[in-house]
Amino acid sequence: MVEIIKNINKKPRIKYFEKKSETIGRSELKILQAERLKKTLRQIFSAGGFLKNRLAEAGLKNLKDVEKIKTALHIKNLPFTSKADLVDNYPFGIFSSPVKNIVRIHASSGTTGKPIIAGYTKRDIVIWSKLMARVFCGADISKSDIGQNAYGYGLFTGGLGFHYGAEKLGMTIIPMSAGFTERQFIMMQDIGATVLFCTPSYALFLSEEIHKYIPDKSKIKLRKGIFGAEPWSEELRKKIEKSLGIDAYDIYGLSEIMGPGVAFECVYKNGLHINEDNFLPEIIDPETGRVLEEGETGELVLTSLNREAMPLIRFRTKDITRLTGEKCKCGRTFVRMDKIKGRTDDMIILKGVNVFPSQIESVLFRCDYLEPVYMIELYTDNLLDKMNIIIEPKNEIFNAGENKITDAVNEISHKIYELIGIRVKITAVPPKTLERSQGKAKRINDLRRKI
């Protein structure tokens, strides 16, 4: 369990936004999930279209079959939905509400250039805002806080998702969006933001730049941050916490299912609670689709239980994690998932060994002599896949000459070898060479020859 920096000697404060729902008994929750699953299936049937046909092909032929469902465990018999299904049914083919009832559209990048569209009814937006308010309360953020929202506003769900949740809670929210770094610091200092919302890589960038704009850290009032939208290691959390002097929390979500707020950390930071009254989680073997047991690592699959516009059944997120149903000290009864290890898309297979960028990050970010930034290049050499990790040794190493740089490279090479059992190339570049990200960081540059 991660130590809670500011509350080191104090008992963490436990707050809920919807206590009854967040601490619901497990048997009551199971009944609610079954009811909501059936309601969702009824909606899909009455809307007709792609999802209904998919369910019918898999044996759920009509409403009578839906009524026969007794528990949410029935989910295992239903077919998966994937990003490709959303692309194929672009833009509205996957909606279960008529377009006239849609009040908002968001989008994320698809695989073929066409974006993936997410639609929301008025009710969906209200529920989403409440789920985001749960996230804030989970991190002991209250309506007296001032939130600086540096997630991108626009088609990305981060900006408006956080914004509406903050307003629902009654917090003061500064709609900064990402970028405009100098202005971020001006507002942070002048308005006195107490909480920061952005991607972990942007938080890191801000922490690297802050001394230029606010040399006296006592001028800022930041106490917490909620960071997500990309995988980030515990080591990165420690770096952000230390350099900004805040308490950092993880939040998970995806546009297809809603946006931010699907899962979040409470003050104990021992996994992310999944809002299980709204989303039914499963873990599957990404190769075979077999449902795995609690505690086993695999791909997270989510089913909407409370969406109107675009409920999805068994959506394959491609995100790798595992679930635990062990009791949490915060009193929430929702299962927790581990921090996301990475996406199946981003898993690198080198000589048969599976590696995620987050594992490499854990090693690199533990080395104080490196800038907290890296890039993994994949290339082909003699028909074999190879990896080159580009690192930035800090100024003091770089300026100390060739030998010091070589020592750093050798040490990293050894540490990576200890982690994955394979020798990879390590390239040192001068500090501030690699691009810093204001949104989701790109960690892999795939230069492999495509056959």
Does 250 participate in binding ligand DLL (rule CB under 6 A)? yes
Structure tokens at 142: 């209250």
Query: How far apart are CB 176 and ligand DLL at their closest, in Å?
Result: 14
User: How many residues make contact with ligand DLL (CB under 6 A)?
Assistant: 21
Contact 416, 363 (CB under 8 A): yes
How far apart CA 156 and CA 404 sit, in angstroms, is: 43
What's the longest Cα–Cα distance across the chain? 75
Among 260, 298, 311, 439, binds ligand DLL (CB under 6 A): 260
Query: How far apart are CB 314 and ligand DLL at their closest, in Å?
Result: 15
Pick the closer one to ligand DLL by CB: 252 or 398: 252
How far apart CA 138 and CA 131 sit, in angstroms, is: 10
Among 255, 278, 304, 438, binds ligand DLL (CB under 6 A): 255
Residues 143-172 that bind ligand DLL (CB under 6 A): 151, 156-158
Does 252 participate in binding ligand DLL (rule CB under 6 A)? yes
Tokens 């100098």 belong to 182
Residues 336-355 that bind ligand DLL (CB under 6 A): 340, 343
Residues 11-50 that bind ligand DLL (CB under 6 A): none
Pick the closer one to ligand DLL by CB: 143 or 343: 343
Does 229 participate in binding ligand DLL (rule CB under 6 A)? yes
Pick the closer one to ligand DLL by CB: 189 or 344: 344
Pick the closer one to ligand DLL by CB: 156 or 205: 156
Contact 422, 351 (CB under 8 A): yes
Does 359 participate in binding ligand DLL (rule CB under 6 A)? no
φ/ψ region of 229 (left if φ > 0, alpha if ψ in -120 to 50, else beta) reads left
Residues 298-337 that bind ligand DLL (CB under 6 A): 317, 319
Does 259 participate in binding ligand DLL (rule CB under 6 A)? yes
How far apart CA 394 and CA 111 sit, in angstroms, is: 36
Does 115 participate in binding ligand DLL (rule CB under 6 A)? no
Query: How far apart are CB 152 and ligand DLL at their closest, in Å?
Result: 9
How far apart CA 445 and CA 443 sit, in angstroms, is: 7
How far apart CA 66 and CA 157 sit, in angstroms, is: 32
How far apart CA 387 and CA 326 sit, in angstroms, is: 38
How far apart CA 137 and CA 18 sit, in angstroms, is: 9
Query: How far apart are CB 142 and ligand DLL at their closest, in Å?
Result: 20
Contact 233, 361 (CB under 8 A): yes
Among 119, 147, 225, 228, binds ligand DLL (CB under 6 A): 228
Pick the closer one to ligand DLL by CB: 60 or 275: 275
Distance of CA 336 to the CA centre of its chain: 14
Does 108 participate in binding ligand DLL (rule CB under 6 A)? yes
Residue closest to ligand DLL (Cβ):
228
Q: Among 263, 257, 272, which residue's Cα sits nearest to residue 306?
A: 257
Does 225 participate in binding ligand DLL (rule CB under 6 A)? no
Beta strand 272-274 with 259-265: parallel, antiparallel or unpaired? Answer: antiparallel
Q: Residue 189 — φ and ψ, nearest 5°?
A: -80, -50
For ligand DLL, the binding residues (CB under 6 A) are 108, 151, 156-158, 228-231, 250-255, 259-260, 317, 319, 340, 343
